[in-house]
Each structure stands twice: as structure tokens, then as C-alpha cells.
Structure 1
Amino acid sequence: MGETFTGASDPKTARIMAFGDLFKAASHRMLGFAGLAIALGGLGGLIVMLNAKPEERLLPDPDLTPGAVVDVSLEEMCEPGYAARVRSVDSSERKQAFRMYGLSNVDRRDYELDHLIPLSLGGSNDIKNIWPESRITKPWNAEVKDTLEDVLHREVCAGRERLGNAQWAIRTHWIQAYRMYVGSEPERFVAHSRPGF
């Protein structure tokens, strides 16, 4: 299993990488704020923290979920049904993912156990690539990320985008990647990528 990612080989990837660096610094601060909010204000403090910008609370912690890929050919990855054939996350990994994110007393139906780098883009079933992603937050949620995954898969399989660039974009900051590849407003079932990409 390879876990290497393409670097800033073009301007589009360089922009996504810059967003990712900013996010990584912000995410560490947000995790610290979450602990402080609980310690100082209990549930009320946590609610204040959860009212932060969607970008700051709907991206996985890069230390817990850095992303991981498998070595798969484009031909195999682009075959219809590939993702369904290779999907394999057992119940112990599911529990571990929720535990890692401190989500013990939640309705799990409100979350999708998501692959940060989707299987349809060569993502792995490794715990480093999965996290509980909200289904119910607005405007950014698991359903919206699914749209980005569909668009990136189509772009890669049509030869209009490099697989490494797509993997890097979605693992670094999937919301910024959505804005670059799909558009600024979240939609579901978008049948096209952003003009010019």
C-alpha cells in the first residue's frame, strides 16, 4: 500500500496546499479550544465552539485522519462498482473512529463513517483514512462531500485531472476543493465540474 501524494506540481494544487497549511494550524487550535470550552463551560462551552465556521469543525483532524491510499491502477479504479467491491470497514474500526473523535453518546445515524480520500479515488480502508462526518450540518456535510467525490472521480477517469492532484485536494481541505472543482454553493448530484477545470 503506497501512501505518497503528489506535491505542488501545478498552480491549482499549490493553491489547495496553501489552504491545507492554514487549515492544519487552525485545526490544532480548534481541538485545544474544544477541550478548553468543555473544561470552562461544560456543554455550553462546547456549543459555543461548535458554532465556529463550518470549515473549522467539518474537516477531519489531520493528526487522526491524515488520509491513506492503496496502490491501484486507474483502469481498475475507474471500473464501475470498484468502490463497492473494496469497501471493508469492520465494526471495531467503526467504534474506534467514533472513539478517536470523542463521539460516544451520539446518534450514529447523524454521521457517515467517511473515507477522507474516497475509495473511488484510490483511498484506503485504513483507520487513518476514515472519520465520522456529519450528515446533518448545513451547508457542508457528508452528502455535499459525496458530490465532490463524484466530480473528482469523473475528472480523473476522463483524464482531465491527475489522480495525485485529486487525492491531495480532497485530503488537504475538501471544502476548498469543492469550491475549486464544483462551485461555491453546496449542491447534491452535480453532473459537471466547475468551468475551466
Structure 2
Amino acid sequence: MRLAFVLAAIFITACGPSDPESTLSARPTGEDRYPLFPEESMTPGTTCKNPSEYRYPERIPYCTRSVSSSLKNKIIKTYDNTFDYTIGSMPRNDFKIDHYIPLCMGGSNDVANLWPQHKSVYIYTDDLEQRLCLYMERGRMKQVDAIYYIKLVKNNLDEAERVQVEIETTYGHL
């Protein structure tokens, strides 16, 4: 028993404390390594100006998805260089190049509407995007309101749950 205690003490001393709180401060946070929301100066959001079609009862201009790999890489490099993130050194499959204003809401493929979104962010926003577009498709929500809500949540992840309740209260369940 005493030997096990001694070995455990040696292990803890060699490897550091096991308390996650004490090791977190040594790790970079998401805010240090990647954006938690679009950087307004680079990604203010833009809507489709050259639509391939019009959608929904409101006749929203719709742009077909068209973002090349080279543009995606350029966006990552620009975010890294401009805002001192380290996205380029992280696993690429942890990110997607997100349309700040989603295409289904009339967003564009313009660089001013694209940003590198980490998977820890899009787990909050992807479902909401689809739901908002369904409201638009069914004529229950206007484009301006859908864009307002998606921008609100993409910039304030802690508001996601409250916003979903507000949407269901205001526009009904799908």
C-alpha cells in the first residue's frame, strides 16, 4: 500500500496536478486560437447580389454555394495574420468556412460573408440556421428577422437557448 502511494506521488510530481482547473490556464483558450464569432471588421455579412434564383414567399435572392478551396485557405490565413489566431496549425476538419449570413437566408459567397467557424461554435448555430430558413420557406418569418436572429446567436452563443425559445414563442413551433 505504501509503495502504491509513493508511486502515485512520484507520478503526480512528474506529470503535474490532475486537477483540470489548474491545467486550463496553461492551455490557450478558444478565444486565443480561433474566433468564437465573426470578426466584424473582416466579416460584416453580405447578401446575394447576383442570384441564381429567388426563394420563399418573400422571393429572397439565392446564390448557389461557390467557395473555392483557395479562398477558404485565404480566409484562414487572413484571420490568423490579422487577429493573431492559430487556425492554420489546427486540424482543418475542426473548422468550416461559414457563411455568416447563410445562403438559405440570402447570404452571399463574398469574402465579407465568410469566416472560419470552429466545430464548438457551429454545434450551436447550424440547427438554428436550418430552422430559421424553414420559417422563411413557410412564410412565417421575414428575411430581416432571420438574419437578425442568426447574427445575434453567432455573436453571442450564450443567447442560443433564449433565442430559440423567443422564436418558438413568436413564430410558433415547426
One-letter code aligned to 2:146: A
Counterpart of 1:22?
none
Counterpart of 1:163?
143
Shift of 1:45: 7.5
Structure 2 distance, partners of 1:46, 1:159, is 50
In 2 relative to 1, CA 166–180 (structure 1 residues): closer, same or farther, beyond 3 Å? farther
Alignment check: 8 A CA contact 1:169 1:177 kept: no
What is the DSSP-based 3-state SS (H/G/I as helix, E as strand, rest coil) of the residue aligned with 1:86?
coil
Counterpart of 1:182?
164
Question: For residues 77-156 of structure 1, what are the structure 2 equivalents within 5 Å?
Answer: 77-78=55-56, 86-102=64-80, 103-135=87-119, 137=120, 141-156=121-136
Decide which structure has the larger Cα Rg and report it.
2
Unaligned runs of 5+ in 2: 1-23, 81-86
1:65 equivalenced with 2:43 (yes/no): yes
- What's the TM-score once normalised by structure 2's chain length? 0.63
1:196 equivalenced with 2:174 (yes/no): no
Structure 1 distance, partners of 2:66, 2:46, is 14
Question: For residues 19-38 of structure 1, what are the structure 2 equivalents within 5 Å?
Answer: none
Corresponding residue pairs, total: 135
Unaligned runs of 5+ in 1: 1-43, 185-192
Shift of 1:59: 1.1
Encode CA deviations 1:157-188: one digit per residue, 9 max, x unaligned.
2222110121133234433663354249xxxx
- What's the TM-score once normalised by structure 1's chain length? 0.57
Counterpart of 2:20?
none
What is the aligned-residue RMSD (CA, Å)? Answer: 3.3
Counterpart of 1:41?
none
Encode CA deviations 1:56-85: one digit per residue, 9 max, x unaligned.
x52111111111101478x82349xx97x7
Identity of aligned residues (%): 26
Alignment check: 8 A CA contact 1:170 1:177 kept: no
Task: Name the structure with the higher strand share.
Answer: 2
Structure 1 distance, partners of 2:158, 2:122, is 15
